[in-house]
Every structure is written in structure tokens, then in C-alpha cells.
């Protein structure tokens, strides 16, 4: 499998866009590891290399995904998270621990957080809402990416099922006074998306919070 990962990295390197790389590095406050490959090209590579491994079984594919995550490169994380999403029909409850470990170990900027938590991880939460209390723990963490994740991960589920509405307001209330701008943008995004479906409820929530502040 090392040879397989090597082939992926070779193809990523063959698709480097030097100008795009310069802009991408400037786009983040944190230092990032990137080849400088545009996202559509990365997703195309993800699809190409998923085909020969799709029948290996979830455990082996997750192991390959983690090998990519360990590199720290943005593009390799995109591929790993894409593969994880493609296995959504095979998700089981124990996968929560795997995904949570990836979140804690390998998510190091808002882009990785949003990609993982608004797609693969969000799908798992939608399927297994029993893990919703874990989001409260993340929201109270000192880790900014866990805090952002606690909000972003609800954006997909709330579009699918109203049962998540109370959790949306619960998480936003925990994060409301957080001073981290990237955490603020995370729960702000969640409220915006929720208001597209439940405008009256979100308006009422915001008004109640304003009243308490006075």
C-alpha cells in the first residue's frame, strides 16, 4: 500500500499550480502544508484512486486515509475525507471514535475542519444522533477546531431533520461569547444556514439572546 500512496503523491505533484499555491498560503493565518493543487483536480484524483480500493473493506480504506492524513498536506486530507464520505453506507457507531480521533489529530485549519465536518463526519452524526452530546464537549474545549466543528457539523443534519434544531441553539449558546473569530464564523454560518429553513425560530432565538444582553 505504500506504493499506492506514492502514486497518489506523484500525481498530486504533477498537478501543482505554483501561483495557486502562493495564494493558498496567504489565505490562511496558520502555516499550512500544501502541494498547491486546485480542489477540483484533487477531488478527481480522489475518485480515480478510490476505484481500485473500494472493495478492500472499510477498515483498510480508513487505514489508507489515515496514512494520507498523517502527512499534514491539505490535498491528502481532502482525499482522505472524500474516501471516508464515499463509505457512508457502511458507517457504524464505532466509526465515531475513529472520526473524532482524526478531528483531534489531523484538523489544523478551518478548511480541513469544514471539509470533514460538513460532509463525512456530518453524515455520521445524521445517522447516529446518539453522539450529539459529544458536541457539547467539543464546544467547551480549548481547541478552536473542536469548537468550530461543534457548530459546522450540524449544518448538514439540520437540512435533513428538524430534530437537530434544539442542538443547533444549544451549541450556539455555548459558543456565543467565544472571542475566537474562526469559532464565531463557524456558529454564524450554522445560524445562517438554519435560518434558511427555520427563519422564525432563529429570529426568536437571536432576539432572546439580545434581550438577555441588555
pLDDT, tens digit (0-9, with 9 covering 90-100), for 25-40? 887 888 899 999 999 9
**Domains along the sequence of the chain with CATH:** 1-90 (1.25.10.90), 93-214 (1.25.10.90)
Query: Which grid cell is 123?
Result: 453524515
User: pLDDT tier at 214 (50, 70, 90 boundaries)?
Assistant: very low
Residue 65 per-residue DSSP state: H
The answer to whether 133 and 121 have CB atoms below 8 angstroms apart is: no
The answer to whether 125 and 85 have CB atoms below 8 angstroms apart is: no
The mean pLDDT of 115-127, rounded to a whole number, is 98
Crossing angle for the helix pair 74-86 and 120-127, nearest 10 degrees? 30
Collapsed DSSP state (helix, strand, coil) of residue 1: coil
User: pLDDT tier at 42 (50, 70, 90 boundaries)?
Assistant: very high
Residue 30: predicted pLDDT: 83
User: Quick check: 209 pLDDT over 90?
Assistant: no
How does the average pLDDT of the chain come out, rounded?
94
For the chain, what percent of residues have pLDDT higher than 70?
Answer: 98
The answer to whether 148 and 182 have CB atoms below 8 angstroms apart is: yes
pLDDT, tens digit (0-9, with 9 covering 90-100), for 43-82? 999 999 999 999 999 999 999 999 999 999 999 999 999 9
Cα 132 from Cα 125, distance rounded (Å):
7
Residues 6+ apart with CB under 8 A from 73: 12, 33, 34, 35
User: pLDDT tier at 131 (50, 70, 90 boundaries)?
Assistant: very high
What pTM value is reported for the model?
0.93
The answer to whether 194 and 165 have CB atoms below 8 angstroms apart is: yes
Cα 165 from Cα 84, distance rounded (Å):
26
Which residue is associated with the grid cell 438577555? 212
pLDDT, tens digit (0-9, with 9 covering 90-100), for 160-203? 999 999 999 999 999 998 999 999 999 999 999 999 999 999 99
User: pLDDT tier at 212 (50, 70, 90 boundaries)?
Assistant: low
CA-based nearest residue to 121, from 109, 136, 107: 107
CA-based nearest residue to 18, from 45, 38, 39, 46: 38
Residues 6+ apart with CB under 8 A from 173: 209
Residue 37: predicted pLDDT: 96
Amino acid at each position: 500500500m505504500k506504493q499506492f500512496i506514492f502514486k497518489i503523491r506523484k500525481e498530486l505533484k504533477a498537478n501543482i499550480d505554483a501561483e495557486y499555491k502562493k495564494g493558498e498560503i496567504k489565505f490562511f493565518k496558520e502555516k499550512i502544508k500544501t502541494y498547491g493543487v486546485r480542489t477540483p483536480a484533487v477531488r478527481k484524483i480522489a475518485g480515480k484512486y478510490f476505484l481500485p480500493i473500494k472493495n478492500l473493506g472499510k477498515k483498510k480504506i480508513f487505514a489508507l486515509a489515515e496514512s494520507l492524513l498523517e502527512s499534514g498536506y491539505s490535498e491528502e486530507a481532502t482525499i482522505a475525507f472524500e474516501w471516508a464520505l464515499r463509505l457512508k453506507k457502511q458507517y457504524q457507531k464505532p466509526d465515531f471514535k475513529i472520526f473524532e480521533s482524526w478531528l483531534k489529530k489531523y484538523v489544523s485549519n478551518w478548511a480541513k475542519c469544514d471539509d470533514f465536518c460538513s460532509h463525512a463526519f456530518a453524515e455520521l452524526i445524521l445517522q447516529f444522533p446518539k453522539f450529539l452530546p459529544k458536541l457539547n464537549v467539543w464546544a467547551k474545549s480549548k481547541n478552536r477546531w473542536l469548537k468550530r466543528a461543534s457548530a459546522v457539523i450540524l449544518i448538514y443534519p439540520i437540512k435533513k431533520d428538524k430534530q437537530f434544531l434544539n442542538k443547533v441553539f444549544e451549541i450556539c449558546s455555548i459558543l456565543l461569547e467565544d472571542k475566537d473569530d474562526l469559532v464565531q464564523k463557524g456558529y454564524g454560518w450554522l445560524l445562517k444556514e438554519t435560518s434558511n429553513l427555520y427563519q422564525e425560530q432563529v429570529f426568536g432565538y437571536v432576539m432572546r439572546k439580545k434581550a438577555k444582553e441588555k
